[in-house]
Amino acid sequence: MPFREPFKRKFDVGDLIYGLTSQRLKYITNYKPFKGISINTHKVGIQAVIIDQYITPVELFLKKNDEEARKNNMKLEINRPYSECFSSYIKNHHKYHSSFEFTPESTGRIFSRKCKAGLSWITMSNGNKELVKDNTVHFILDAIEMKYVVNKVKFSAKSTDITSHELRWVYRNRNNINVQKKIQFWLNGQPTIPPWESPEGKEIWKLYTPTSELEAAFN
């Protein structure tokens, strides 16, 4: 039960790591559950562990971030089933299918949607459930300024802003039992509770009310 004890303290094939890039690098370097993992998007022959390593047709077209290396890496036997499962899920999703399509939206918005789709895929997949039914999203909280997240204030770094979108997605879906079971938060190298459940976090997250909850309150 990752939102509660007992926490998940290991990384399995098919799991994904979310959080700031600098902190993901720190974790795979310094903390035992993540050691030996590579988050290099330019390298072939490694297990995919971050959503950045998965590739969409739009990204191939835009030729961003060494797309050929990512494409070839996702063809590997260890990655291909997950790549196909993710593609199938996202293409059939009523909202996230747009990240697989050519639209006038900015590339940042498309990538943000892809990242949220990754969260949805692992936690709510209605596709190949057997493949990802035991997988977990490991969400690293280190160095995230929660006041920026809840107030929707853009950070200077694009990747940081995307992390804010991802964390708000988890909060909006926090009452979903599958989300509660399949997202493990980490802080200071240790598994932990969601950021809105700590004493300080409770006060900060009071400032964020999802639109869906506002609408429900008036209906």
CA of 54: how far to CAs of 23, 122, 186, in Å? 20, 13, 23
Task: Output the pLDDT for position 137.
Answer: 98
Asked whether 7 and 191 are in contact (CB, 8 A), the reply is: yes
Asked whether 67 and 52 are in contact (CB, 8 A), the reply is: no
- pLDDT bucket at 136, cuts 50 / 70 / 90: very high
Contacts of 213 by beta carbon, 8 Å cutoff, 6+ apart: none
**Residue indicated by tokens 């809840």:** 150
- pLDDT bucket at 175, cuts 50 / 70 / 90: very high
- pLDDT bucket at 159, cuts 50 / 70 / 90: low
Beta bridge partners of 140: 186
Distance separating alpha carbons of residues 33 and 171, to the nearest angstrom: 25
Q: Which of 43, 28, 95 is nearest to 52 (CA)?
A: 43
CA of 171: how far to CAs of 92, 168, 190, 197, in Å? 23, 5, 20, 11
pTM of the model: 0.91
Contacts of 123 by beta carbon, 8 Å cutoff, 6+ apart: 137, 173, 176, 178, 179, 181, 182, 183
pLDDT in tens, 63-106: 655 677 888 899 999 999 999 999 889 888 888 887 766 665 56
Best-predicted range by mean pLDDT (38-47, 100-109, 126-135): 38-47
Q: Is the dihedral of CA 11, 143, 147, 111 positive or negative?
A: negative
Q: Which two tokens stand for residue 166?
A: 């991802």
pLDDT at 215 over 60: no
Q: Which of 205, 51, 23 is nearest to 137 (CA)?
A: 51
| Average pLDDT of the residues of the chain | 87
Distance separating alpha carbons of residues 89 and 97, to the nearest angstrom: 9
Give the domain ranges of the chain: 16-217
| Mean pLDDT value across residues 3-25 | 95
